[in-house]
């Protein structure tokens, strides 16, 4: 077996921790098994620390869902250099794709996910047709403006709660096998989704399609003169990222059980970008690390100071000024170009 780099180890440990987290939290069977091994159960304070703390499961679920959103954003932002400042709109669309059918007492999860993915993809396609014609700062502002358009649309639709949001009382139903009402099951659905999407992104990035996207990031003119219609490639990439984030939104809707337009405010999109950049752009696992650090910092800081956002903002500025390449580069990855 190939020896792992530091990054590889962090990735592996991160995934293992995420995979086993509910086992630590849930007091039942697995823990008693652990305790029969004194060399682990006896010394591992982490276990006793987490035991019975449902709160950490909630935190971890949010972390995993936002990691999916960050990973999907990284597909366009990192690999394609399309700096979308409106990615939170897809989270909102996905969440409302759960909330609005539930409002009409349709609880079938396959319908929810289907609507979330299809509507997100359609929105990405339509806005992409306009956005991708522009470059640079125009692209940033237009994606932001389109997400605000969705934001204001939901604010002004009184039927679905408008500004006040919508309460989802029943989570999506997926037949008898998967019961999302159980928090641990919901967590594992999110975690497996994250793994699946990471695999999907890996396949996309290493495919011919992904190569064209990355080639166009470096030098679009060159790709065009090689005969690639980069606009189409970009559009497809943009739609895939939107659809994946819509899926994450559907999970988020199930998780929070209260959705409001506030979740697609442009500052939310800014937070998603921060997660990606913090972790390291155009690396597969970087956004997951970024989302993790973001959520943990937010949780820790907000716990001990009312004005924690001040520290958060200063941290963000410092990361931009002094830590190019994010966590990934701290772990020994060479920054690009």
Q: Which residues contact 9 (CB under 8 A, 6 or more apart)?
A: none
**Cβ distance to other proteins smaller for residue 203 or 232:** 232
What's the chain's length in residues? 337
Going by C-alpha positions, the residue among 24, 127, 144 that lies closest to residue 83 is: 144
Does residue 175 touch other proteins according to CB under 8 A? Answer: no
What is the nearest approach in angstroms of other proteins to the Cβ of residue 134?
Answer: 5
Number of residues that bind other proteins (CB under 8 A): 44
Going by C-alpha positions, the residue among 69, 19, 87, 55 that lies closest to residue 279 is: 69
Stretch that binds other proteins, among 24-32, 129-137, 179-187, 327-335 (CB under 8 A): 129-137
What is the nearest approach in angstroms of other proteins to the Cβ of residue 158?
Answer: 7
Residue 80 parent element (H or E): none
CB 258 within 8 A of CB 168: yes
Q: Using CB under 8 A, pick the residue from 103, 231, 315, 330 that binds other proteins.
A: 315
Does residue 303 touch other proteins according to CB under 8 A? Answer: no
**Cβ distance to other proteins smaller for residue 237 or 251:** 237
Residue located via tokens 């980069």:
230
Indicate the pairing of strand 173-174 with strand 166-167: unpaired
Per CB under 8 A, which of residues 45..104 are in contact with other proteins? 77, 83, 85
Q: Using CB under 8 A, pick the residue from 273, 288, 293, 331 that binds other proteins.
A: 273
Stretch that binds other proteins, among 100-108, 223-231, 235-243, 302-310 (CB under 8 A): 302-310
DSSP 245-306: HHHHHHHHHHHHSEE-GGGGSHHHHHHHHHHHHHH-TT-SSHHHHHHHHHHHHHHHHHHH-T
Stretch that binds other proteins, among 29-37, 39-47, 89-97, 310-318 (CB under 8 A): 310-318
Q: Using CB under 8 A, pick the residue from 4, 6, 118, 317 that binds other proteins.
A: 317
Q: Using CB under 8 A, pick the residue from 277, 284, 293, 295 that binds other proteins.
A: 277
What is the nearest approach in angstroms of other proteins to the Cβ of residue 73?
Answer: 12
**Cβ distance to other proteins smaller for residue 53 or 138:** 138
Does residue 304 touch other proteins according to CB under 8 A? Answer: no
Phi then psi dihedrals of residue 25, to 5 deg: -75, -40
| End-to-end Cα, the chain, rounded Å | 30
Residue 20 parent element (H or E): helix 6-25
**Cβ distance to other proteins smaller for residue 192 or 310:** 310
- Return the structure tokens found at 334: 């060479």
Stretch that binds other proteins, among 66-74, 187-195, 197-205, 312-320 (CB under 8 A): 312-320
Q: Which residues contact 92 (CB under 8 A, 6 or more apart)?
A: 150, 151, 154, 249, 259, 261, 263, 264
**Cβ distance to other proteins smaller for residue 64 or 213:** 213
Per CB under 8 A, which of residues 145..174 are in contact with other proteins? 145-146, 148-149, 152-153, 155-159
What is the nearest approach in angstroms of other proteins to the Cβ of residue 124?
Answer: 14
**Cβ distance to other proteins smaller for residue 170 or 317:** 317
Does residue 236 touch other proteins according to CB under 8 A? Answer: no
Alpha-carbon distance 29 to 123, whole Å? 45
Buried b (16+ CB within 10 A) or exposed e, 135-160: eeeebbebbbebbbebbeebbeeeeb
For other proteins, the binding residues (CB under 8 A) are 77, 83, 85, 127, 129-130, 133-134, 136-138, 140-142, 144-146, 148-149, 152-153, 155-159, 266-267, 270, 273-274, 277, 307, 309-310, 312-317, 319-321
């Amino acid at each position: 077996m190939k020896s792992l780099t530091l990054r590889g180890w962090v990735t592996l440990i991160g995934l293992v921790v995420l995979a086993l987290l509910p086992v630590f939290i849930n007091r039942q069977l697995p823990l008693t098994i652990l305790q029969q091994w004194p060399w682990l159960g006896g010394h591992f304070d982490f276990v006793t620390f987490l035991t019975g703390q449902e709160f950490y499961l909630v935190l971890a679920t949010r972390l995993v869902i936002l990691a999916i959103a960050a990973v999907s954003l990284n597909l366009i932002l990192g690999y394609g250099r399309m700096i979308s400042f409106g990615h939170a709109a897809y989270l909102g669309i996905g969440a409302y794709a759960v909330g609005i059918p539930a409002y009409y007492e349709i609880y079938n999860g396959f319908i929810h996910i289907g609507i979330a993915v299809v509507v997100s993809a359609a929105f990405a396609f339509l806005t992409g047709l306009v956005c991708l014609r522009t470059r640079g700062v125009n692209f940033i502002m237009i994606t932001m403006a389109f997400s605000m358009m969705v934001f204001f649309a939901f604010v002004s639709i009184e039927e679905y709660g408008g500004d006040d949001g919508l309460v989802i009382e029943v989570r999506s139903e997926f037949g008898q096998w998967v019961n999302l009402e159980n928090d641990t099951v919901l967590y594992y659905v999110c975690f497996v989704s994250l793994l699946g999407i990471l695999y999907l992104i890996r396949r996309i990035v290493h495919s011919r399609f992904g190569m064209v996207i990355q080639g166009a990031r470096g030098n679009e003119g060159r790709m065009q003169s090689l005969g690639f219609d980069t606009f189409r490639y970009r559009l497809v990439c943009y739609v895939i990222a939107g659809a994946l984030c819509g899926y994450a939104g559907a999970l988020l809707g199930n998780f929070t059980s209260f959705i409001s337009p506030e979740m697609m405010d442009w500052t939310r999109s800014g937070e998603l970008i921060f997660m990606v950049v913090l972790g390291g752009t155009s690396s597969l696992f970087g956004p997951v690390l970024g989302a993790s650090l973001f959520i943990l910092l937010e949780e820790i800081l907000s716990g001990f100071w009312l004005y924690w956002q001040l520290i958060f903002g200063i941290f963000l500025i410092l990361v931009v000024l002094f830590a190019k390449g994010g966590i990934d580069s701290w772990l020994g990855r060479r920054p690009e170009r």
